[in-house]
Chains A and B, each alone.
Chain A
Amino acid sequence: MSGTASRDDTFPKLMIRNAATRGDLPAVRHKDFGIWQTWTWREVDEIVRCYAWGLRELGLSRGDTIAIVGSNRPKLYWSILAAQCLGAIPVPVYADAVADEMVYVLEHAQVKLAAVEDQEQVDKILSISDRLTGLTHVLYDEPRGLRDYDHSRLHAIDEVIEGARKAFASDPAAKAAIDASIAEGAGSDISIILYTSGTTGRSKGVMLSAERSIAAATDTVRFDRLDEKDEVLAYLPLAWVGDHYLNFAQGLVAGFCMACPESAETVQQDLREIGPTFYFAPPRVYESLLTRVMIRMEDAGALKRRMFHYFIDVAKRYGEDILNGRPVPLSGRLLYALGELLVYGPLKNVLGFSRIRVGYTAGEAIGPELFSFYRSLGLNLKQLYGQTEAFLYVTAQPDGQIRADTVGPVAPNAQVRIAESGEVLFRTPGMFLGYFRDPERTAETLTEDGWVKTGDAGFFEQGSGHLKIIDRAKDVGKMASGALFPPKYVENKLKFFPNVKEAVAFGDGRDFVTCFVNIDMTAVGNWAERNNVSYASYQELAGNPQVYEMIASHVAEVNRSLAGEPMMGGAQIKRFLILHKELDADDGELTRTQKVRRGFIAERYAPLIDALYDGSTEADISTEVTFEDGRKGVISARVKIADCTIFPVTADTGPTEKAA
């Protein structure tokens, strides 16, 4: 990569640079009618300019906003670029948002046009169009089902581009006008507005400037040595900062090719066909892949199964060391090479991971075993910590410094500070300009000296300089003794055990920490089968003394690890119980995204919490449950309470500060 020249300070300018320097290389792929269609940078350049003219004809001008709604389709990415050519601001919106949620974002962003994927999205937009005061035209990619719609305000993107092509052919001034418009674009322009998903209150429109976006992407492209030979599969939501950064921004900066999947259901197959070299997935994707592999191996023949387990063991012993460049005995290397030939290679091929040079995960904590599994196969999986407001990277793990329990040292050119309260603050090259039309909340998020508050509590590990994220700052409590109580941190440690499906920790303002546990039916059921433990229901298995012993040993393990960590020693779990029912979103105990609703659970199971703290060994509880068909019933049970081993605290230091 030759680095970004100062004049290439907007994405359309980068597109032109790519068309000039690597015009014949693939820029975008999309699988359509079963065949991967490819567009080179030169073709993309031509299409986007035409498209920009078409948008101009529809009345889009500098400073206007255009909504982008749909899945990862080339034409929607081109909509973003075409709008940027005009100095207009694209506003991607989550495609699965219901109409009412969409009204808020689109009206708040005052969109003038909307470029959407298909009939479903067109219907959604039309159904709310009377509440969208600024909206004039809607463009769509997929014409299916739209033939009989009133086309006075509705246009096919294809036709818009085709129309512009004719205009360009007959009128050279048209082309010049677009060229001038691109040249007029400045790095300080707002490049895009990304709305946050709004899990905490109303969504906020994060304004990102072109030059800052490009600066951030340039840093990470260099950090991970990405170049035009790389390839990614763009399957993450278009409106999410991760997709915009990792695929769109990095793609334009490095000049690599972005492939769009055929449909949401075919991502796994598309991944295999494309074989990306750079990959991002949240931990649960890696987890479900591993589960699928394990289940399929259970069904394989005896020989294959033994070979698989033998070589996975070999990988566990040597794989990570080989990847990290640490010394490994020659016999180990030879065995690993054989394993690569017989197991790891074919397995990575099936998963579509054969060519991955750099893989990232982020968003939530990843289990150390899961993390090690992929790394031991030779997959360079790393962690990063980022935010929309930072334009993604705040910290990232460089090759050779990869760990499951940290999010890595501060990213290139970024700065991180831990506030008095333990909250993580940052300043990054891609830092946002503010929230769109919301100076109040912009002010709330920024400190007086211009640092961004993340809302996450964390600390720097001494020695390594790696950042560890504990929890959302507002969730971190204090125990009666004054010790820190980070519920999610404790729960995650427990959830890393396959036998534990869900955990809910209590301790804010209390003398000690207690915990509810949900066992994982698949894992514990499997264990029960192998150990001749018979059971008829979740409730019966949950109450089994042997299961209690097993979970107690997991809790002891968690306590041991907490005792060895700074500030965490006080949060060891003293007593726990295994809940008689699985926590369920239908009963309001989990959110629809499967996150624990701590407050609600505390209220609902108050008698159990009282029992945890008053020293009794059993408690009675009856709870109302909602069945799948909507009927309600009552489950009552007597739940046992177990005590756990507490370890002496070995490390306890105050908060640390670090700025890189």
Chain B
Amino acid sequence: MRAPGDGHGIMAGDVLLAVDGVSLSFGGVKAITDVSFDIRKGEIRAIIGPNGAGKTSMLNVINGFYHPQKGRITFKGEMRRRMRPYEAASQGIARTFQNVALFKGMSTIDNIMAGRTLKMHENFFWQCLRHGPAMREEVEHRRFVEEIIDFLEIQAIRKTPVGKLPYGLQKRVELGRALAMEPELLLLDEPMAGMNLEEKEDMSRFIVDVNNQYGTTIALIEHDIGVVMDLSDRVVVLEYGRKIADGSPAEVSSDQAVIDAYLGVPH
């Protein structure tokens, strides 16, 4: 796989994405209140918090699905207040979903190929004919998709309709589709929910490998604290839409506010 573009000269360790004073509410419900944090290039950043803390909303804000009422988001040094999902995608933000969102009737290959759509440029006419330049383009992209399949070790299910696959494998295919976009920032929404121990171990390895080998920056939401502590470089903790802690796994896990949020406070 090719390494993703270096994004306007941003070096590893520089801030890739900054969230600054973001607030989001739905009518009277405040999902996120004045949250600020940043994601540095090349790191694995975890967003954790109890149920309803606003984690998924935060991801939705980052990839432009929700528009915050207040605050700024800076991606690759460019500030923008409104980023639409397709803009986010074409700028190099890919994501997976909490409940798998694949095309169930399509094969693994086709699902991952779908992730290449934004990279295909031949015109509609040629695409319809599937000849000439369109075919050449498809071969090129298929090669890339095969590399992902090899990487995720899903050769055996290449042609299986994803609806027939067990949940753990569907999650892997979904990661494959996100990787097909060659993202600079990969958003993973509970990549290990509903998995057994072995599947979790596999998925952890893939996440670390993606980060190591391709330098992809990863932001992940995860409930399994063990996984979060092992994988991530830095952790931001949300509770009721507010940021209550931010730092290394060790710092966060000894933070009193975090312990209270998870274990409750005696009244």
Residues of chain A at the chain B interface (Cβ within 8 Å) = 32-35, 144-145, 147-148, 262-263, 265-266, 269
- Chain B residues contacting A265 (CB-CB under 8 Å) are 155-156
Chain A: minimal CB distance from B173 (Å): 15
* Selected contact of B143 from candidates A33, A144, A262, A263, CB within 8 Å: A33
In the complex, whether B82 has a CB less than 8 A from a CB of chain A is no
Main secondary structure of the interface of B (DSSP, over half): helix
In the complex, whether B147 has a CB less than 8 A from a CB of chain A is yes
Contact A263 B155 (CB under 8 A): yes
In the A-B complex, the 5 residue pairs with the smallest Cβ-Cβ separation, listed nearest first, are: A265-B156, A33-B146, A34-B146, A266-B156, A262-B155
Contact with A along B146-182 (1 / 0, CB 8 A): 1101110101101000000000000000000000000
What are 26 contact pairs spanning A and B, CB under 8 A?
A32-B150, A33-B143, A33-B147, A33-B149, A33-B150, A34-B142, A34-B146, A34-B149, A34-B155, A34-B158, A35-B146, A144-B151, A144-B209, A144-B213, A145-B209, A145-B213, A147-B212, A148-B212, A263-B153, A263-B155, A263-B156, A265-B155, A265-B156, A266-B155, A266-B156, A269-B156
Contact A145 B156 (CB under 8 A): no
- Chain A residues contacting B213 (CB-CB under 8 Å) are 144-145, 147
Chain A: minimal CB distance from B178 (Å): 19
> How far apart sit A32 and B158, CA to CA, in the bound complex (Å)?
13
Chain B: minimal CB distance from A107 (Å): 29
- Chain B residues contacting A148 (CB-CB under 8 Å) are 212
Chain A: minimal CB distance from B112 (Å): 12
Chain A: minimal CB distance from B137 (Å): 17
> How far apart sit A45 and B97, CA to CA, in the bound complex (Å)?
50
- Chain B residues contacting A34 (CB-CB under 8 Å) are 142, 146, 149, 155, 158
- Chain B residues contacting A32 (CB-CB under 8 Å) are 150
> How far apart sit A33 and B150, CA to CA, in the bound complex (Å)?
7
- Chain A residues contacting B153 (CB-CB under 8 Å) are 263
What 7 additional pairs, Cβ within 8 angstroms, besides A147-B213, A263-B156, A266-B156?
A33-B146, A33-B149, A34-B155, A144-B151, A145-B209, A263-B153, A263-B155
Chain B: minimal CB distance from A35 (Å): 8
Chain A: minimal CB distance from B169 (Å): 11
> How far apart sit A606 and B149, CA to CA, in the bound complex (Å)?
54
- Chain B residues contacting A266 (CB-CB under 8 Å) are 155-156
Chain B: minimal CB distance from A592 (Å): 17
> How far apart sit A80 and B209, CA to CA, in the bound complex (Å)?
31
> How far apart sit A424 and B143, CA to CA, in the bound complex (Å)?
54
- Chain B residues contacting A262 (CB-CB under 8 Å) are 155
Closest residue of chain A to B151 (Cβ to Cβ) is A144
Contact A145 B212 (CB under 8 A): yes
- Chain A residues contacting B209 (CB-CB under 8 Å) are 144-145
- Chain A residues contacting B156 (CB-CB under 8 Å) are 263, 265-266, 269
Most A Cβ at <10 Å: residue of B147, B151, B155, B158: B155
**B172-230 CB contacts (< 8 Å) to partner A:** 209, 212-213
- Chain A residues contacting B142 (CB-CB under 8 Å) are 34
- Chain B residues contacting A144 (CB-CB under 8 Å) are 151, 209, 213
> How far apart sit A32 and B147, CA to CA, in the bound complex (Å)?
9
- Chain A residues contacting B151 (CB-CB under 8 Å) are 144
Chain A: minimal CB distance from B142 (Å): 8
> How far apart sit A32 and B213, CA to CA, in the bound complex (Å)?
20
Chain B: minimal CB distance from A305 (Å): 22
Chain A: minimal CB distance from B56 (Å): 31
> How far apart sit A265 and B158, CA to CA, in the bound complex (Å)?
11
> How far apart sit A144 and B158, CA to CA, in the bound complex (Å)?
20
Closest residue of chain B to A143 (Cβ to Cβ) is B213
- Chain A residues contacting B150 (CB-CB under 8 Å) are 32-33
Chain B: minimal CB distance from A102 (Å): 22
- Chain A residues contacting B155 (CB-CB under 8 Å) are 34, 262-263, 265-266
Closest residue of chain A to B157 (Cβ to Cβ) is A265
Chain A: minimal CB distance from B36 (Å): 33
Chain B: minimal CB distance from A175 (Å): 34
- Chain A residues contacting B212 (CB-CB under 8 Å) are 145, 147-148
- Chain A residues contacting B158 (CB-CB under 8 Å) are 34
> How far apart sit A147 and B213, CA to CA, in the bound complex (Å)?
8
Chain B: minimal CB distance from A121 (Å): 15
> How far apart sit A85 and B60, CA to CA, in the bound complex (Å)?
61
Closest residue of chain A to B205 (Cβ to Cβ) is A145
> How far apart sit A262 and B212, CA to CA, in the bound complex (Å)?
24
> How far apart sit A203 and B173, CA to CA, in the bound complex (Å)?
41
> How far apart sit A145 and B150, CA to CA, in the bound complex (Å)?
13
Chain B: minimal CB distance from A95 (Å): 15
> How far apart sit A148 and B211, CA to CA, in the bound complex (Å)?
13
- Chain B residues contacting A147 (CB-CB under 8 Å) are 212-213
Contact with A along B44-56 (1 / 0, CB 8 A): 0000000000000
Closest residue of chain B to A268 (Cβ to Cβ) is B156
Chain B: minimal CB distance from A158 (Å): 16
Chain B: minimal CB distance from A161 (Å): 21
> How far apart sit A379 and B212, CA to CA, in the bound complex (Å)?
49
> How far apart sit A145 and B205, CA to CA, in the bound complex (Å)?
10
Closest residue of chain A to B145 (Cβ to Cβ) is A34
Closest residue of chain A to B159 (Cβ to Cβ) is A269
> How far apart sit A145 and B212, CA to CA, in the bound complex (Å)?
8
Contact with A along B61-96 (1 / 0, CB 8 A): 000000000000000000000000000000000000
> How far apart sit A26 and B24, CA to CA, in the bound complex (Å)?
64
> How far apart sit A145 and B210, CA to CA, in the bound complex (Å)?
10
> How far apart sit A600 and B225, CA to CA, in the bound complex (Å)?
43
> How far apart sit A35 and B153, CA to CA, in the bound complex (Å)?
15
> How far apart sit A34 and B143, CA to CA, in the bound complex (Å)?
9
> How far apart sit A13 and B146, CA to CA, in the bound complex (Å)?
37
> How far apart sit A35 and B209, CA to CA, in the bound complex (Å)?
24
> How far apart sit A477 and B146, CA to CA, in the bound complex (Å)?
57
Closest residue of chain B to A32 (Cβ to Cβ) is B150
> How far apart sit A33 and B155, CA to CA, in the bound complex (Å)?
9
> How far apart sit A189 and B151, CA to CA, in the bound complex (Å)?
41
> How far apart sit A606 and B255, CA to CA, in the bound complex (Å)?
59
- Chain A residues contacting B143 (CB-CB under 8 Å) are 33
> How far apart sit A49 and B172, CA to CA, in the bound complex (Å)?
41
Chain A: minimal CB distance from B4 (Å): 16
> How far apart sit A266 and B209, CA to CA, in the bound complex (Å)?
23
> How far apart sit A140 and B153, CA to CA, in the bound complex (Å)?
18
- Chain B residues contacting A145 (CB-CB under 8 Å) are 209, 212-213
Chain A: minimal CB distance from B43 (Å): 16
Closest residue of chain B to A263 (Cβ to Cβ) is B155
Chain A: minimal CB distance from B209 (Å): 6
Chain A: minimal CB distance from B191 (Å): 19
Closest residue of chain A to B149 (Cβ to Cβ) is A34
> How far apart sit A144 and B151, CA to CA, in the bound complex (Å)?
8
Chain B: minimal CB distance from A357 (Å): 27
Chain A: minimal CB distance from B265 (Å): 34
> How far apart sit A148 and B153, CA to CA, in the bound complex (Å)?
21
> How far apart sit A265 and B155, CA to CA, in the bound complex (Å)?
8
Closest residue of chain B to A267 (Cβ to Cβ) is B156
Chain A: minimal CB distance from B196 (Å): 12
Chain B: minimal CB distance from A122 (Å): 15
Chain A: minimal CB distance from B194 (Å): 19
> How far apart sit A527 and B10, CA to CA, in the bound complex (Å)?
68
> How far apart sit A269 and B213, CA to CA, in the bound complex (Å)?
29
Closest residue of chain A to B209 (Cβ to Cβ) is A145
**B104-160 CB contacts (< 8 Å) to partner A:** 142-143, 146-147, 149-151, 153, 155-156, 158
> How far apart sit A595 and B150, CA to CA, in the bound complex (Å)?
35
- Chain B residues contacting A263 (CB-CB under 8 Å) are 153, 155-156
Closest residue of chain B to A148 (Cβ to Cβ) is B212
> How far apart sit A148 and B147, CA to CA, in the bound complex (Å)?
20
> How far apart sit A148 and B208, CA to CA, in the bound complex (Å)?
13
> How far apart sit A340 and B252, CA to CA, in the bound complex (Å)?
68
- Chain A residues contacting B146 (CB-CB under 8 Å) are 33-35
Closest residue of chain A to B154 (Cβ to Cβ) is A265
> How far apart sit A262 and B155, CA to CA, in the bound complex (Å)?
8
Chain A: minimal CB distance from B148 (Å): 10
> How far apart sit A292 and B156, CA to CA, in the bound complex (Å)?
17
> How far apart sit A43 and B101, CA to CA, in the bound complex (Å)?
46
Most A Cβ at <10 Å: residue of B147, B156, B209: B156
